[in-house]
């Protein structure tokens, strides 16, 4: 016997700051949102030990606790949070049309509006010592975590504009920044290369890769290898920042939603509207510039408001199947 198809006013895919903020606003607007958490409930912040730059937490808060509180706030207004992952979508081209989403390959949801908050995944080097020390001195966000290394020696891996920008940021607060570039030249713009070259406490090492992150509980140093000579060297650092890019979690929307060459969803103007009516994108799934919890939360708010206005502008379909 086939399972009855569930119809929702608002389906939110993803449970980071964008998803839960969207849920708070959608629930208060009586859109009866349902959140599916995805593979990483709480998003990237659940891998962060301390969050010091989110407004409203003067003493700071650890990432997992913050996400629990956001979930509780969303549930307080009637949001239903479910464990599950969207595995396929069939999006309508029609204004007022119904979108179909498959959850965990076996459940079908029909939604009048969808808010996509699937986030992005930071790329890491994927060496065992790096993965073991994530949250113990290894970070993929210098702007988020650089403050904790004020006056200390750190290293950053990467060669593009983002790495150069983060190296410049770190140089303002850290004693020394060692920038590791895998090839014999940076791939950043000339302007960013000149900026890095003009900062005295940034040392750029070319043809250099991470061999091992040293330390048991926290980062204590770095073993690097010159990929032309094979020569290895240990350097003393307390923080390692990986700046080799992010991958937006948007693969299931390929061929249906407009996205750039990297996979970031494209939204219209200053809104969260995608190219499909009733489908909105928020957070790191559509933001490759800022990638902060507070900006993700802001776009989650925008997406819920956009969804509310969209529903108000179309004839409400029959509620039951």
What is the C-alpha to C-alpha distance for residues 273 and 263, in angstroms, rounded to an integer?
16
Q: Which of 52, 104, 105, 145 is catalytic?
A: 145
Phi-psi region of 52 (alpha: psi -120 to 50; beta: other; left: phi over 0): alpha
Active-site residue, 174 included: no
Q: Residue 77 in contact with residue 30, Cβ under 8 Å?
A: no
Q: Residue 9 in contact with residue 311, Cβ under 8 Å?
A: yes
How many other CB atoms are there within 10 angstroms of residue 176's CB atom? 18
Classify residue 14 as exposed, middle or buried by CB count within 10 Å of its CB (0-12, 13-18, 19+): buried
Active-site residue, 144 included: yes
Entry field: residues in the chain: 321
Classify residue 321 as exposed, middle or buried by CB count within 10 Å of its CB (0-12, 13-18, 19+): exposed
The H or E element spanning position 171 is helix 161-173
**Which CB contacts under 8 angstroms, 24+ apart, belong to 25-30?**
25/300, 25/301, 25/304, 25/305, 25/308, 26/79, 26/115, 26/304, 26/307, 26/308, 27/74, 27/77, 27/78, 27/79, 28/77, 29/304, 29/308
SS3 for 21-38 is: HHHHHHHHCCCCCEEECC
Q: Residue 6 in contact with residue 109, Cβ under 8 Å?
A: yes
Q: Which of 93, 104, 105, 141 is catalytic?
A: 141
Active-site residue, 145 included: yes
Q: Which of 105, 144, 153, 184 is catalytic?
A: 144
> Would you name the residues annotated as active-site residues?
141, 144-145
């Amino acid at each position: 016997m086939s399972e009855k198809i569930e119809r929702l006013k608002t389906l939110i895919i993803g449970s980071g700051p964008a998803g839960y903020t969207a849920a708070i606003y959608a629930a208060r607007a009586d859109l009866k949102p349902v959140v599916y958490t995805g593979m990483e409930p709480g998003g990237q912040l659940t891998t962060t030990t301390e969050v010091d730059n989110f407004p409203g937490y003067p003493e700071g808060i650890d990432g997992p606790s913050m996400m629990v509180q956001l979930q509780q706030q969303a549930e307080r207004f009637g949001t239903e949070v479910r464990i599950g992952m969207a595995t396929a979508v069939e999006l309508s081209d029609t204004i007022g049309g119904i979108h179909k989403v498959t959850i965990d390959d076996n459940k079908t949801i029909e939604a009048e509006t969808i808010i996509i908050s699937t986030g992005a995944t930071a790329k890491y080097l994927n060496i065992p010592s790096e993965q073991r020390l994530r949250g113990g001195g290894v970070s993929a966000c210098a702007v988020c975590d650089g403050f904790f290394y004020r006056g200390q020696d750190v290293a950053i891996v990467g060669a593009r504009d983002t790495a150069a920008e983060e190296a410049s940021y770190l140089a303002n607060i850290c004693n020394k920044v060692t920038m590791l570039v895998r090839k014999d030249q940076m791939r950043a713009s000339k302007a960013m290369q000149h900026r890095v070259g003009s900062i005295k406490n940034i040392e750029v090492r070319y043809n250099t890769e991470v061999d091992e992150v040293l330390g048991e509980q926290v980062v204590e140093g770095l073993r690097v290898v010159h990929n032309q000579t094979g020569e290895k060297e240990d350097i003393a650092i307390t923080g390692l920042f990986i700046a080799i890019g992010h991958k937006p979690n948007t693969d299931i929307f390929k061929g249906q939603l407009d996205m750039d060459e990297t996979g970031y969803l494209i939204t219209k103007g200053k809104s969260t509207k995608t190219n499909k009516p009733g489908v909105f994108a928020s957070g790191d799934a559509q933001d490759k510039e800022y990638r902060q919890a507070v900006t993700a939360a802001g776009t989650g708010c925008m997406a819920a408001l956009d969804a509310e206005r969209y529903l108000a502008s179309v004839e409400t379909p029959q509620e039951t199947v």
